[in-house]
Amino acid sequence: MSGTSSISSAALCQAYYLGVIEYGEALRLQESLVKARIAGDIPDTILFLQHPPVITMGTSAREENIIGPRDALKNEGLAIVYTDRGGDITVHEPGQLVCYPVFDLKTKERDLHLYVRNLEEVVIRTLSEFSIAAHRESSYPGVWVGEEKICAVGIRVSKWVTKHGFALNINNDLKYFSYVYPCGIIDKRVTSMSQLLGHKLNMENVMLRIIENCSQVFCSDIKLKSPEYLGR
């Protein structure tokens, strides 16, 4: 991950699609990228990927929001991981596109609330291009369609460099969400793009639209690169 030292331009960003990788591996990779971004060794970077089925517990998560029997979770191979992102409980599974930006907010606006709103804006714009009218809910971070959540958002920031990001439900069947109260919300359901549209989507096409909208919202020139350049 070596690169030109003291890289600070907000207009430069590299993106990678990593396929399906374990949550722990993705977390270790993010931590490495955050250190490199803080040091100025790499430009802003976005990881796109999918996770095998996993329940993640954010810094605000409560055990009572796991409502599925532990034996059932174990039989499903559904691990529970405690992580350092903000927010409560959520689920990752194949068919859900996860976006982890490693951005230096010192080159942008030093405003965490604005950063979260901008991530939501990227998703809202992307969904609109697939004829899905989405919106924010003032009480909850993330993106909603009607009364159903379609995208979870949770971040962490170290020295103004971001980690974690958002998870957009595209083709995942949502079955694992029945084991939890997603984001700790008891009376709301989740949905996906394929559920709303009645057909599966090409995830790469959705990712490319996210990259374009991310470029516009964050005023960045985002280049999609081969994962081999990450040196994993």
Look at residues 91, 219, 212 and name the one whose alpha carbon lies nearest to residue 151. 91
Q: Which of 23-27, 35-39, 56-60 has the lowest mean pLDDT?
A: 56-60
The secondary structure of 87-153 as a DSSP string is: SSEEEE-TTEEEEEEE-BGGGS---HHHHHHHHHHHHHHHHHTTT---EEETTEEEEEETTEEEEEE
Alpha-carbon distance 41 to 25, whole Å? 21
What homologous superfamily is domain 12-227 in, according to CATH? Bira Bifunctional Protein; Domain 2 (3.30.930.10)
Indicate the length of the chain as a whole number. Answer: 232
Asked if residue 163 lies in contact with residue 30, where contact means CB atoms within 8 angstroms, the answer is yes
Domain ranges, ordered by start, for the chain: 12-227
Alpha-carbon distance 70 to 40, whole Å? 43
Integer distance in angstroms from the first to the last C-alpha of the chain?
9
- The stretch 5-34 carries a mean pLDDT of 86
Supply the pLDDT for residue 3.
41
Supply the pLDDT for residue 139.
83
Pairing of strands 161-169, 148-158: antiparallel
The pLDDT confidence band at residue 4, using thresholds 50, 70 and 90, is: very low
Q: What is the pLDDT of residues 116-169, one digit of tens each?
A: 999 999 999 999 999 999 999 988 889 999 999 999 999 999 999 999 999 999
Supply the pLDDT for residue 186.
81
Output Rg (C-alpha) for the chain, integer angstroms: 17
- Report H helices in 104-189: 112-128
Which token pair is 86? 């903000």
Asked if residue 145 lies in contact with residue 127, where contact means CB atoms within 8 angstroms, the answer is yes
pTM above 0.85, yes or no: yes
Which token pair is 77? 């191979």
Which token pair is 112? 């965490």
Catalytic residues, by residue number, are 183
Asked if residue 87 lies in contact with residue 141, where contact means CB atoms within 8 angstroms, the answer is yes
Supply the pLDDT for residue 5.
38
- Report H helices in 1-44: 23-39
The pLDDT confidence band at residue 9, using thresholds 50, 70 and 90, is: low
- The stretch 38-57 carries a mean pLDDT of 96
* DSSP letter assigned to residue 170: S
Asked if residue 12 lies in contact with residue 220, where contact means CB atoms within 8 angstroms, the answer is yes
Supply the pLDDT for residue 232.
56
Supply the pLDDT for residue 35.
97
Supply the pLDDT for residue 203.
97
Alpha carbon distances (Å) from 136 to 30, 37, 79, 224: 27, 30, 29, 28
